[in-house]
Amino acid sequence: MLFNPKQTCDFSMGDMATYLQCFWGLFLSLSLYFIQSESTSHVYVVYLGRSQFHDPLVTSKSHIQLLSNVFSSEEEAKQSMLYSYKHGFSGFSAKLNSTQATTLANTKGVISVFRSKVLKLHTTRSWDFLGLTLYSGEVTPLQLTYGDDVVVGVFDTGIWPESESFKEEQGLGPIPSSWKGKCVKGEDFEPKMDCNRKLIGARYYLQGFEQEFGSLNTSGNPEYRSARDFLGHGTHTASTAVGSMVKNASFLDFALGTARGGAPRARLAVYKVCWGKNLDGNCAEADILAAFDDALHDGVNIISASFGSDPPLTPFFSSSADIGSFHAMQLGVSSVFSAGNAGPDPSLVGNVAPWTISVAASSIDRVFPTEIVIDSNFSVMGESLITNEINGRLVSAFSYFADGACLMENWNKRVAKRKIILCFSNRGPVPSAGIAQAAVLAASGSGLIFVEPPTMQIADVDIIPTVRVDVGQGNKIQIYIAQSSQNPVVKILPSKTAIGKSPAPVVASFSSRGPSPISPDILKPDVTAPGVTILAAWPAKTSPTLLPFDDRRVNWNFQSGTSMSCPHVSGVVALLKSAHPDWSPAAIRSAVMTTAYTRDNTFDSILAGGSRKVSDPFDIGAGHIHPSKAMDPGLVYDMKTRDYIIFLCNIGYNKNQINMLVLPSTGTDTSCSHVHQTNSNINYPSITVSNLQSTMTIKRTVRNVGRKTTAIYFVSIVKPHGVEVLIWPRILIFSCFKEELSYFVTLKPLKKSQGRYDFGEIVWSDGFHKVRSPLVVLVNNSNDDDDDDDDPSVFASNITAASSSI
């Protein structure tokens, strides 16, 4: 037992013996604490930048040599090491105590050392809603024209290979010759049977997870020690991104239609890095980096990853996702990530690196209306996925739960047999319908009517029949119950599938919002995509709710989250990569962003779920993806190595460190300027200025990728409130001799303000293409008494400088 000064030290007595006893007791306690801290080992990642050697064996040997410096022998170092990252980049993961980790962090040639954290998962009709309709009269629809030469690597919970979603499409050619990957044998996974020309790679990574949670216990934990999926999340996301066409797909006859991924002909490689623990997906960073290392060596073209962590975010090169995706970008591989499910509060967006695509989630135009009939007197309409009519007595939550809060701890032990309970989300509060369902199930209730704000309602696969209604309808039901002399008779009719709901899309209330907490001058999320009640493939032996007492088995299931919106964008990126193989990840991201739309199906502004307000770029990024327009964006904002170097300089890296990170290329200046260059000047498709104190000028460069080499683009501007915006030149003339041109944006604050973001846009158009960039500005000058900025000569000098640069 450690020394406790509060129990032992009574300094009011004032004698020297007491002071000495306390001093030595405290010294001994702290010594024991630090000895214990030093002896406790955890998994750390030691990141060394790009691989300095062309031979993976030599790289691995250098890792052992480096690790041996903090162990008494090379043998101990080898036993400590989990993975050696030796293909796409250089580094390793190993079990270390804090002293060893600190020693390695201070060693020359080491970029970063960080604890391997555990990241969490961000857990048909959607493609029609995006305009990729199979039966639109085209002979070869867009989704079936491109993709068979592209490999999408999905980092997730594995795959259910028997699903029809992963069968070989008719006429699918041989596996691309560039592919170096493989399918790895494991529990209930036989490569010869389970892999084909569609599913061409399957690996699994377990060492980081087992070091964190102990050995994978398949008896108490229904998991497979292989690439086979139990949790269903990986099967769902893979199916959404690249699933083959499957007719008559549905969840218990809901959403019946032809299911397919964004790029049905693309090849699939699965990297199982997330494992079930108490039915929750856990993804160890050491495993994630091992998957990145293999995937880049295997030859994937796109990486799709629906996991992450909420703020506080770690520095960029102390994050497995950011490290892996940085080296992927340098090799021409696009990385698409989910933005997170921490909405609707601001600044909780995750996966914010400027070399990735971060995806928010929004709804589609499909709903599942469910009618509730009470005493045959009146009815209300909610949303649910109920297959059979339900009858019972309607009761208020106050009859069974203290304070009317449907929480397990509030249950008064009364049995609610054949009762349908009305619960309000704000009583308690009850964080989710799932929490209320567990409480009603414990009370033996037959069903639940869950009342929540109208912007929060999402039909879901429930453990007991649950209808979601808005607060207005819930209030009417509550009043009716209160005025009734006995419990009313209630009948819930089977749910239906309805298409054409408006408005749609609406940003999901759970979708994480910007601004980025660690790089506010880079707009994140980048775009939004369908992520609400998405139908996709599901493991045949896993219940749709994952719960052991749920005996239903399905081949297709509904899921919601930015986990679902991420693979929608991954599928679109696969189509773009197939159609434009020479485009860089930055050019592809630009095409997706600048063609995104901000109007819903009523031609009004997209709404932000979780509120009644119009969405802004922190909700939707550049807007909602528009795949067919992204194929022909007109202009793209590409990013050169120098753009990334400016960013690296701004986050504290010096020339020597940057040389260790960036692949060498002729003529590339890796030095950091003595004059600070804002991240706003990086050639990103959006423009964000998070601290506009005085007049400033920003440069952007665009490249003509349209079918016509000669093109003339004119600019239009929507100015943020209180900001003067001037663009020079206002006309861009492209030719076969001039396919790349620059323009300058000069911003001048016209108001005194602090802490308030304002939004505008810049649109370049040639009459056919519209290349749109969000303009996000925070004027921050309310404490600035300097009125020089009111001088027109300051604004004019910026314009003159811009025009002379042109």
Q: What is the 3-state secondary structure (H, E, C) of 15-65?
A: CHHHHHHHHHHHHHHHHHHHHHHHHCCEEEEEEEECCCCCCHHHHHHHHHH
Residue 288: which H helix or E strand, with range?
helix 285-298
| Number of neighbouring beta carbons within 10 Å of residue 772 | 24
Cα(607)–Cα(560) distance, rounded to whole angstroms?
18
- Can 590 be counted among the known catalytic residues? no
Q: Which of 306, 318, 325, 563 is catalytic?
A: 563
Burial string for 518-552 (b: 16+ CB within 10 Å, else e) reads bbbbbbbbbbbbbbbbbbbbbbeebbbbbeeeeee
Instruction: Encode pLDDT of 313-359 as tens digits.
Output: 999 999 999 999 999 999 999 999 999 999 999 999 999 999 999 99
User: Which pTM does this prediction carry?
Assistant: 0.91
- Can 335 be counted among the known catalytic residues? no
Q: Which of 63, 122, 233, 769 is catalytic?
A: 233
Q: Which of 122, 126, 148, 156 is catalytic?
A: 156
Q: What is the mean pLDDT of residues 101-110?
A: 96
Q: What is the mean pLDDT of residues 627-633?
A: 96
Instruction: Encode pLDDT of 75-93 as tens digits.
Output: 999 999 999 999 999 999 9
374 contacts 488 by C-beta, under 8 angstroms = yes
| Burial (Cβ within 10 Å: 0-12, 13-18, ≥19) of residue 79 | exposed
pLDDT at position 134, please? Answer: 53
- Can 156 be counted among the known catalytic residues? yes
3-state secondary structure of 661: helix
**Residues above pLDDT 90, as percent of the chain:** 79
Q: What is the mean pLDDT of residues 261-275?
A: 96
Query: For tokens 């639940």, what's the residue?
Result: 448
pLDDT at position 790, please? Answer: 55
Instruction: Encode pLDDT of 512-538 as tens digits.
Output: 999 999 999 999 999 999 999 999 999
pLDDT at position 356, please? Answer: 98
* 673, amino acid identity: S
pLDDT exceeds 90 at position 612:
no
Model confidence band, residue 800 (pLDDT cutoffs 50, 70, 90): low
Query: For tokens 């804002």, what's the residue?
Result: 678
* 283, amino acid identity: C
